[in-house]
Amino acid sequence: MIKEKRPIIIDTDPGIDDAVALSIALNHPELDVQLLTTVAGNVNVHKTTENTLKLVSFFEKQVPVAKGCDKPLLIQLEDSAEIHGESGMDGYDFPKATAKALDIHAVEAMKDCILSSSEPITLVPIAALTNIALLLSMYPETKQNIKEIVMMGGSLSRGNTNTSAEFNTYVDPHAAQIVFQSGIPIVMVGLDVTSTALLTKNETEKIKAFGKVGNMFYSLFQHYRGGSLQTGLKMHDVCAIAYLTDPDLFTVQETFIEIALDGPAAGATVADLKMKYHDSTNATACLDIDIPAFQKWVVSNLEKIN
Ligand code: BDR
Ligand code: CA
């Protein structure tokens, strides 16, 4: 049975794992990517926008791209160029983008897209939550046409920036707090699953053989410092896309998540897994992932693009 295409907006900061996530989402038969919005995160917003436009052009897609916030709501940007390279997508010489960004801000573009959609939209932030927090604060009327937020970010255990915080929630904890307090259903695809679901040599060698697309990704993978080709690559953002099409790959739990705003755990997503301190939940947290099934999912989706 062919499933209905699910309308989504992806908010992104490419980023090498973002690039893989976008490539699969843009080409997946069950996903209708209505808009791509960009934000400062892995690198500055000019670069994340340019990288998004390059990917859309590379795949010859007509999906609109809107540039968003150039810094977190209240704090300075700390980027992640040491992981993704100075350009954010080091390692492959993309042709100049033919696609152009919209001449409105990402928050306005999201608002227009959500309010004009006949079907509720799923928001898929795979970066800091700055744009999403502004959208919900400036245009709360959009909430009624947002189906859910499926986000890559957060952690139920250790972080990858300070001891406890994952990068996306660390970059803009105040935005994360607004989003987690919004009342919109949230699925948190955090480090607990994304740090374990590695692409190993077995998968990367297969991907390398996938023609132009395989060559592009293998070149990026050689420069990616979210793991290595020898020890396995962390495909954080790709897990959020997998959740959209194949949620059965994940073990989840309803819980309440608070955001630590400052101190040594700033940006941490503090979960009340035993529900000792809250009467109701505000998020679905991913606890576990079927790693071999995820690895197969990535390879088969990249293979289909060729
Ligand atoms: C997240 O941080 C970024 O560097 C990645 O693109 C991903 O969104 C992982 O912590
Ligand atoms: Ca990202």
| 166 CA: nearest ligand 1 atom | 10
Tens digits of residue pLDDT in 244-293: 999 999 999 999 999 999 999 999 999 999 999 999 999 999 999 999 99
Out of 11, 192, 237, mutate this one to test ligand 1's pocket (max ligand atoms within 8 Å of CB): namely 237
Does residue 51 sit within a domain?
Answer: yes
Does residue 72 sit within a domain?
Answer: yes
Residue 46 appears among annotated catalytic residues = no
Of the pLDDT bands very low, low, confident and very high (cuts 50, 70, 90), residue 4 is confident
CATH at 215 = 3.90.245.10
| 84 CA: nearest ligand 1 atom | 4
Does residue 1 sit within a domain?
Answer: no
pLDDT at 101: 98
Tens digits of residue pLDDT in 180-205: 999 999 999 999 999 999 999 999 99
First to last CA, the chain: 23
Give me the number of domains the chain comprises. Answer: 1
Does residue 167 sit within a domain?
Answer: yes
Of the pLDDT bands very low, low, confident and very high (cuts 50, 70, 90), residue 1 is low
Does residue 267 sit within a domain?
Answer: yes
Q: How far is the CA of 126 from the centre of ligand 2 (A)?
A: 5
In the structure, ligand 2 is a single-atom ion and the residues with CB under 5 Å from it are 13, 15, 18, 126-127, 237
Does residue 244 sit within a domain?
Answer: yes
Does residue 188 sit within a domain?
Answer: yes
pLDDT over 80 at 306, yes or no: no
Per-residue burial over 41-71, b = 16 or more CB atoms within 10 Å of its CB, e = otherwise: bbbbbebbbbbbbbbbbbeebebbbbbbbeb
Among residues of the chain, what percentage have pLDDT more than 90?
98
Out of 38, 77, 80, 156, mutate this one to test ligand 1's pocket (max ligand atoms within 8 Å of CB): namely 80
Tens digits of residue pLDDT in 224-242: 999 999 999 999 999 999 9
Whose tokens are 């390398």? That residue is 208
Strand, helix or coil for residue 288: strand
> Is 160 near ligand 1, meaning CB less than 6 Å away?
yes
Q: Average per-residue pLDDT in the chain?
A: 97
Domain that holds residue 98: 6-305
Tens digits of residue pLDDT in 148-162: 999 999 999 999 999
Does residue 185 sit within a domain?
Answer: yes
Tell how strand 31-38 and strand 65-67 pair up.
Answer: parallel
Tens digits of residue pLDDT in 207-218: 999 999 999 999
Q: Residue 199: in which H helix or E strand, if any?
A: strand 198-199
